[in-house]
Amino acid sequence: MIIEIKEWLAEAAGYIRVSLTNQLTVSQKSGRTDLVTNIDEEIQSFFIKKINQHYPNDRILAEEKGFNTIDSFAGRVWIIDPIDGTMNFVMEQENFCIMIAVYEEGVGQLGFIYDVMKEELYWGGKNYGVFLNERKLPQPKDVTLSEGLIGMNAYMYRKNIYSAGEIGHASMGIRVSGCAGVELIAMLKGNHIGYISNLSPWDYAAGLVLINEFGFKYSNIEGKPLAFDKREYFLAATPAAYTQIQEKFIQ
């Protein structure tokens, strides 16, 4: 299964890179800053077709139309964000990812975050470790809040939602990438100690499999398990920073 998924990802990423030489069709979803392109939809359809061909009994949850709700997490479930960071895709033509996760009975088994323009695939699985392309990554250090950079959602920071402003101030500084995949990669590399945002299941499903391998802690921002069926405020961090954030700023 891993080899197949990697082949699909390589094909999809190649298609996306070529698509950047053509005119994109861009539409608004909920508003001016919530975009979807023909490529988001085509890439989602590409993966759905592959999964249906090879694993016809599996369930699929994916961001774009037709697949963004699921009735059950029983059995094997694929969770797909065809392009994470659509705004970056449209405006920057970089700093966006394809994200795929495979869950079984609600437990994450495999996670893939592909930074398409850098051609960097972060992937791994339960009890399997985390890899960047073919190289196994070392576990990042358990750094405290005051010692590291933290990825943040700009709106939460600006409005100080759940003390995001104060948490940022207590850290070495905030970083805002506009792409959940890029933020989770920064944690896997040990560049950021955590990430605070407002996310849907396809934004975090793949990343959780990977950060879990490295012992990062994660939950909704109030410390409850992530629901996987709605958008919610999200916190992931090193164990040391997670505890500090929960004890000092949230509770």
Per the annotation, where are the binding residues for Mg(2+)? 63, 81, 83-84, 203
Contact between 37 and ligand IPD (CB under 6 A)?
Answer: no
Residue 221 touching ligand IPD (CB under 6 A): no
The DSSP-derived string for 34-98 is: EEEEHHHHHHHHHHHHHHHHH-TT-EEEESSTT-S--S---SEEEEEEEEE-HHHHHHTS-S-EE
Q: How far is CA 16 from CA 3, 19, 20, 212, in A?
A: 20, 5, 7, 29
Candidate residues 43, 60, 67, 81; the one interacting with Ca ion per rule CB under 5 A: 81
Choosing from 203, 210, 212, 214, the residue that interacts with ligand IPD (CB under 6 A) is: 203
If one asks whether residue 194 binds ligand IPD (CB under 6 A), the answer comes out as no
Partner interacting with residue 191 (select from ligand IPD, Ca ion, none; CB below 5-8 Å by kind): none
Helix axes 180-188, 201-213, angle to 10 degrees: 0
Per-residue burial over 64-87, b if 16 or more Cβ lie within 10 Å, else e, is: beebeebeebeebbbbbbbbbbbe
User: Between 89 and 128, how does the x/- string for binding to ligand IPD read (CB under 6 A)?
Assistant: ----------------------------------------
115 contact choice in ligand IPD, Ca ion, none (CB below 5 to 8 Å, kind-dependent): none
Q: Which of residues 160-199 bind Ca ion (CB under 5 A)?
A: none
Total residues binding Ca ion (CB under 5 A): 5
Which of ligand IPD, Ca ion, none sits in contact with 179, Cβ below 5 to 8 A by type?
ligand IPD
Binding site for ligand IPD (CB under 6 A): 63, 81, 84-86, 153, 178-180, 197-199, 203
